[in-house]
Chain A
Amino acid sequence: MFYQGKHVAIIGAGVAGLTAADDLAGFGVDVSLFEKAAFLGGHAIQLSCKAAPDCVKCGACMATDKLQRASSHETVAVHTGAQIDAILPGPPIQVEYSLLTDGKRADRLAVDAVLLTTGFLPYDPTPKPYGYGRFQNVMTSLDAERRLRQDGVLRRPSDGKPAERIAFIQCVGSRDTTLGHSWCSKICCGSSLRMARLIQSRQASARATCFYIDVQTFGKDFAVQYPLLQDEIEMIRAIPGDILSADDGDLNVAYFHPDKREAAEARFDAVILSIGLTPSPDTALLAGMLCWPQDQSGFLMQHASGTASSARGVFTAGTVLGPMSIAESIGSAEQAVWDIIHFLDGGDTVGSKPKR
């Protein structure tokens, strides 16, 4: 078992990075896990459980699970507040990093393989005419997740009262050629519908309306869930054209009613923008460092075609490759682990232990 005792650097401790850390440690591989934020778990760890009251299989609790599992291994060394400065080809591969908490002290680590799991950047909808950043009660789906985790119910930023009439606007920053985002972010339909159901289940007076283009499939039981959701949540197949502020922090949402074929306006006390997943600036930086190919959308390709030597021993997993659900991110990491173990088994030994 030549892979045992070898050393892998994982860059990004979201759910994919944590999964890989856990699995690799289980194989007897030493892991150095780098994370730029002060906390582990990326975006998935910030999500709220959506059971209403039955589990809807969003996978958010699995992020907590993977975090616990990864943290339980002594052979996983964690570096938070870390910035990767360079990745130099090997063997052994040299990872140069700075710890932002340590006065930007630079350090270097020699490893046998590197796994890139740097995740995604949520789209910032400030440029869109939805009032994000101007109207207090317009928030992103991620803002809403954090609020739900915090408070259990969705409280309005303006006055802290539980929101009762809530609008979800889908595809914000996705399926948008003018932004250069010609992709569907895959998880937002499921996320919003589950969140809408959750909010309504926690608060009897809450009523959600979902403005959408096409409903994407989510979960194994979509065929069962979707008809139920259509009964529980008002679904309007049109994206609003204007959001104007009303008094009390409320919002007037103007849209074209697709069935009645008339201009309509509805008043909401909170608007949630379902923002898309976009490639993060880190992705471009790493791609540059490694001459790693990016796809048309700017996400990394899973494998580096050609044989640029800087790419040998480098692997990728998770949403750095494109929009994915939590289950898929875990699966992506699990597949990468197979590739890494294979590579380590046939590759050269490094022999150095991770610095702690």
Chain B
Amino acid sequence: MAESNPIDLDGVDLLNGRKEWPFQQDSCLTCAICSGTCPVSGVDDFDPRKVVRLVSLGMADVAARSRWPWICTMCGKCEAICPMGIDIADMTRQLRSMRARDEVPGILHKGLSAALETGNNLRLPKEDFIFILEDVAEEVAEEPGFEGFTVPVDKQGARLLTTIHNKLVNTHTEDLKPWWKIFHAAKEDWTVASDNWEGTSWGYFTGDDEAMKVMAGRIVDNMRRLDINTLLWPE
């Protein structure tokens, strides 16, 4: 961090705004366990303890303006291990929500806009989506023990609806197969939706509660439409 002028604590509002930050961040013991377990500590000077400290000092806006909340992977290890029970991941999400939507880091903003507009992060049209699924299904059906395998799409009244992470129909299509083989071997009555099948929740990830509600709402709509009670959401 470059040499900078000292921050004038006299100008910082220490006690007000605590209602908006109810994450126990003031209890920090300075033990650094969070920073020790965080998979991205040290990247661009980020560590969770630092961000907790800034919020505790009434400088959440400084933290929100920085890259640091976006380096976090939201894995939640810090929160799980903190001996003071500080909700570090939740706090980080709230910092993210302070960012204007069009200033959310590039790919996240792009992906979320796409999802809100088209139902998936990639703007993948329905026909292409179905095509990719069927293509992979054919490959599965060629394997011994999986003869006759097909992928059920929009199956009314199935037992289980599953979402799909966009990368599984983009760069990692092979990773669809283990899921499907398990469903098949277990004789599961499952299906995917042809629209709003997106499994990632970048509304959640970018601290956008409205977007998160829309995305979740669409999945619920699918369940109602297809009359399915059980959701598998592997995100």
A adjacent to B, CB under 8 Å: yes
Interface residues of A (CB under 8 A from B): 129, 171, 175-179, 213, 237-242, 254-256, 258, 261-263
On chain A, the residues within 8 Å of B83 by CB distance are 175-179
Q: Report B-chain residues with C-beta under 8 Å of the C-beta of A254.
A: 36-37
Whether the pair A178, B82 counts as a contact (CB closer than 8 A) is yes
Q: Is B132 an interface residue, CB under 8 A from the partner? A: no
In the assembly, what is the distance between CA of A237 and CA of B30, in Å?
A: 9
Given contacts A238-B32, A256-B32, A256-B42, contact A177 B37 (CB under 8 A): no
- For A177, the chain B residues whose CB sits under 8 A away are 27, 83-85
Shortest 10 CB-CB contacts between residues of A and residues of B? A241-B36, A241-B37, A256-B35, A238-B32, A262-B42, A176-B83, A263-B42, A255-B36, A263-B41, A239-B31
Between A and B, 13 residue pairs with Cβ closer than 8 Å are A175-B29, A178-B83, A178-B84, A238-B31, A238-B32, A238-B35, A238-B36, A254-B37, A256-B32, A256-B35, A256-B42, A262-B41, A263-B41
- CB of B30 within 8 A of CB of A241, answer no
Q: Which residue of B lies closest to A262 (CB)?
A: B42
Q: Classify the interface of chain B: helix, strand, loop or mixed.
A: loop
Decide: A240 and B42 in contact? CB cutoff 8 A: no
Chain B residues close to A by CB (< 8 Å): 27, 29-38, 41-42, 45, 47, 49, 77, 81-85
Could you list 5 further interchain pairs (A-B, Cβ under 8 angstroms) beyond the known A176-B83, A177-B84, A255-B36? A241-B38, A256-B35, A256-B49, A261-B47, A263-B36
A179 to B83, CA, bound (A): 8
- When chains A and B are docked, how far (Å) is the Cα of A171 from the Cα of B82? 13
**Residue on A nearest B45 in the bound complex, by CB:** A261
Residues on B with beta carbons closer than 8 Å to the beta carbon of A263: 35-36, 38, 41-42
Collect the chain B residues with CB atoms within 8 Å of residue A129's CB: 37, 81
User: Shortest Cβ distance from A347 into chain B, in angstroms?
Assistant: 46
B27 touches A241 (CB 8 A): no
Closest to A178 in B: B85
Cβ contacts under 8 Å, B85 to chain A: 177-178
Expressed in whole angstroms, the minimum distance between the Cβ of B184 and any Cβ of chain A is 35
